[in-house]
Structure 1
């Protein structure tokens, strides 16, 4: 396709990142896949219909970020579409949230996206085209109990997106965030296990509680998040947005 783009997706081994990578590939784009798990990336690459590149990296390591971009640039040229899907959560009352918990959330959910955005922007600006989409969370827009460190990191990520979008608005580069509620992914499985262990509910009861938390009465699917990402990639007029994919939980 004439408008095929060079894409880099972090957190591509599973969940939202994998769903986005599949959709980008199906749309005709080249997709470089980044996560810490080589096995997961190899399994995903085998499913993609289009060209792919496996670039394993721990995105909290600045040198690994540089190597990932350099690998893509050597193989294909500068990254045109950057999807920041790597992330994790943690849950604890404030009084039991350790400095290490706090720092881990900031390192992975905020500092790593900042470094990757900073690395990608010069090439995008030089080309006059770029799309950056960060997977944030509804926790970027509202606070809930027991997830202070995660919420702070996602609020920061949305702030980074908004500031970068304003700065780059006249360059042809757009920067957006997609803010899902609970998505049916391994990360939510971890949340379910945590709820079950701390409340005594069965895993099924814990999952049903998360489903009831959303007006549509179910978890969001990774493909529904990918729908919003692909919209941001397609449009030159959507920038600086935090697009809710939450089943109507937060109306804005």
Structure 2
């Protein structure tokens, strides 16, 4: 837990994907710690719905993170109004399920911009402010999908693999600057995006292990802000398994038939827990 100190100026945290379930949990915890919150999302209504759960009043920015001009406009505003920004949290993420050949040019570009290009651009615009002060924290929610590549998620994997590599290099570049860099690697998280995947052909491998709560991911983000650990896994055990598979990527193909059966059963159980019944397979 991050504690605020009485009498000191408020710290400022900027969270992308501000209308999502994970962003909400992060915002609640940082609000309790006394942070001034900046939230960005493409949907103002979703972002502002969190207001009743907060003591402070966030500043909301509507931004389409597939649009370079909108990203630059957002950065210019933050650079002008919040030059002493303390924390950047790249939380926004997007996936479009299905085989690579079925992905349209728009599908490809949307995933690559939201999952990789926009975090890089945002860091590029905000990092100089942190370097000038000699302190700050950059936390990006990556995904186990940035370590294990699965069928029907090729573009998502490409973006998340790229983000992991970028964060690893950036961590080394900033090692002695006072700037902390962390990547958060959750497996499946109980969010509307996961439900969409469950109902629209997302891989059953997401359900091999227990689905994590947004609060657990938020706890990992706060740990990243505090300690600057390069990679934080949610849960920790998934990090061990995923890194083993990353060394031997052919393991997924060999084990895939059995893992899919296990995953499908777990997914159906998870959906039933939400009151959603999946028709029985013949």
**TM-score relative to the length of structure 1:** 0.85
Match of 1:172 in 2: 178
Q: Which residue of 2 aligns with 1:233?
A: 225
Match of 2:88 among 82, 86, 90: 82
Match of 1:202 in 2: none
2:39 is matched with which residue: 8, 12, 33? Answer: 33
Aligned to 1:182, the other structure's residue is in SS state: coil
**Residue number in structure 1 paired with 2:215:** 223
Give the aligned length: 235
2:237 maps to 1:248: yes
Rounded Cα–Cα distance in structure 1 between residues aligned with 2:155 and 2:112: 8
Q: 3-state SS of the aligned residue for 2:53?
A: coil
Distance in 1 between residues matched to 2:92 and 2:28, nearest whole Å: 16
Quote the offset at 1:173 in angstroms. 0.8
Q: CA deviation at 1:51?
A: 4.1
Cα deviations across residues 66-88 of structure 1 (Å, max 9, x unaligned)? 33234344544432200001110
Secondary structure of 2:200 counterpart: helix
Change (3 A) 1:231 1:247: closer
**Which SS does the other structure have where 1:88 is aligned?**
coil
Q: Distance in 1 between matches of 2:50 and 2:78?
A: 17
- Check whether the contact 2:22–2:215 (CA below 8 A) recurs between aligned residues: yes
CA offset digits 1:1-49 (Å, max 9, x no partner): 3374211000011221221111111111111011011111222133212
Q: Does 1:58 align with 2:64?
A: yes
Shift in CA distance, 93/60, structure 1 to aligned 2, threshold 3 Å: closer
Q: Which runs of 5+ in 1 are unaligned?
A: 199-205
Match of 1:92 among 71, 75, 98: 98
Residue aligned with 1:58, SS: coil
Pairwise CA distance, 1:166:
1.1
RMSD: 2.1
Task: Give the structure with higher Rg (CA).
Answer: 2
**Which secondary structure state, in structure 2, belongs to the residue aligned with residue 28 of structure 1?**
coil
Q: Rate the CA distance shift 1:49–1:72 in 2: closer, same or farther, 3 A.
A: farther
Does residue 1:23 correspond to 2:29, yes or no? yes
Gap runs ≥5 in structure 2: 244-282
Contact 1:32 1:55 in 2 (8 A): yes
Matching residue of 1:192: 198
2:11 corresponds to 1:5: yes
Q: Distance in 2 between matches of 1:26 and 1:4?
A: 12
CA distance in 1, matches of 2:215, 2:161: 23
The question of whether the paired residues in 1 share the 8 Å contact of 2:79 and 2:126 is answered with: no
